[in-house]
Amino acid sequence: MDSPYTYTPSPEFINSLEFDYVETYSFQRGIEYEDNQIILRKEFNLLKAESSDGMTLTPEYKARLEELNKRLNYTQYLLDENGKFHQSAQKTSTISSNDEKLMTIKAILQTEVITVPRFLCAPFYRDAIVFYDKGGQIVSALNICLSCYYMETEPFSNINSDVVTYQLITNFLVKQRHEVPLIDRKNIDEYTRLMTQNRPLI
């Protein structure tokens, strides 16, 4: 049986992508998001308990339970299967085709893949870059986990990047006002130093 997972090197990904401009997004972070998660978790636990106690849930409550389970217990992406943005998404910047920052993004993702980080944790995406064509249609959305160094464009579609790429993209997103925790920034700097000590840094 063929695996549903695909692994595309980040240089191949960005070089094959035809786009005009990008937007950066921050999501699944902040006090408002955390407070809302607590409320949703309480609702989920209540519905689950009622279902476990043998109570027959109405179709509406069953659908709500499934929705909450998917939202709370599965990996969340910036865009869902219908192309709808995550409810917590906040646009942090729009980078036009003539902006030097667009070339910076391309250069970061074109970094040669030498050392791909491997961690056992599941990704929790809080940052993303969305690529648009000239007509304003979404071409691709790159979900980025800066805690476990993982990227996907959609479920099972992995983008393999060098450890240096994550260091560079972290620094870039911080400049776009992404609230990347200091501990994550320190960890990636130290991890990059350890993994690249025998080769020159970019």
Q: What's the rounded Cα separation, in Å, for the pair 168 and 152?
A: 17
pLDDT value, residue 1: 61
Asked if 127 and 146 count as a contact pair (C-beta separation under 8 A), the reply is: yes
pLDDT in tens, 78-127: 999 999 999 999 999 999 999 999 999 999 999 999 999 988 889 999 99
Q: What backbone phi and psi angles, to 5 degrees, belong to 129?
A: -120, 125
Residue 28 has which token pair?
């699944």
pLDDT at residue 54, as a whole number: 65
Q: What is the DSSP letter of 7?
A: E
Rounded to two decimals, the pTM is 0.91
C-alpha distance across the termini of the chain, in Å: 40
Residue 121 makes CB contacts below 8 A (sequence gap 6+) with 147, 148
pLDDT digits (tens, 9 = 90+) for 124-172: 999 999 999 999 999 999 999 999 999 999 999 999 999 999 999 999 9
Tokens encoding 86: 């995550």
